[in-house]
Structure 1
Amino acid sequence: MQQTYRRCRSILLLTLVLYLPGCSFSYPLFLQGQLLAGAEQQPVQGATVTLLFRDQKYASTTTDAQGNWNLKVMLDDSEFWPGKEDLHWIKPDRLKLRIETGGQTCMVPCPRVAAPESVGDIYAFVMTVLKAHPETEKQETLPLEALKPVPSDI
């Protein structure tokens, strides 16, 4: 009898701890991305993609032959703050991506993610294109006379 009472008390305490306001939950964040390069947007293989959390290395992976990468991390609910649409968003500048390839490093902002309304997973996708814009062509400059309006006969 006493053992049953202790078991019930333990279950009740565990239930209260899990559902008390201010309790901390963790949310799995699944980040996926693709790294492309050049105007042709060719996949970049072997690049290192690192998720930085508060400027500290949180998780890291390498791109595959198609330039794809995947990361999974756990986010604590204390990292979210109230924002638009009554959602709790990750605090600004907490998550960043560092991409290292060919001796170059670039920083990419992580997409804004919101905590789910109930405990659940968070998914985000990041597509990064390095050096995608070709040099701008010289634009032809027209003489001022070409820009004057032509008088119309009325």
Structure 2
Amino acid sequence: MIALIRYSRIRKRIPLHSTAVGKVMLAFQSPEEIERLLKDYQFTQHTANTITDKETLLRGKKVRQQGYAVDNQENEQGMRCIAVPIRDFDNKVIAAISISTLVSRVNVRELERYIHLLMRKGSELSGEWGLHCLQAYINDSRGLLKK
């Protein structure tokens, strides 16, 4: 039996163009913000699947429509990642949640199941976070938060 260990580092900066989280965060920005973020952006190629130009990255506008993004071995060979947005009470995307899988261990059918589960969890977290943000906003507008 082979043991495979993969991990992420908390607060590690990740590329915008080759990760599912990066694609989600980019997809839900305004056109002006997308343009600003991609101005002089360096599209570093990590694998043979890595997106290496702005046009290809922006062609993926389906992220916004489908509600999730996929990194199909674009950041690391043998790894596939899916990410969904987390929204605040104003429906603004403020974060993303993701899961990574080994291509050799998770087939496309299983991945689709994970997408649905992650979308449900993203929606749940958005509701919880949105309610928390709304309460903080209300308290702040009433002067209840300490300055």
TM-score when normalising by structure 1: 0.28
Q: Pick 1 or 2: higher relative contact order, CA cutoff 8 A, min separation 6.
A: 1
Structure number having the greater helix percentage: 2
Name which one, 1 or 2, has greater alpha-carbon Rg. 1
Structure with a larger share of its residues in strand: 1
Report the TM-score when normalising by structure 2.
0.29
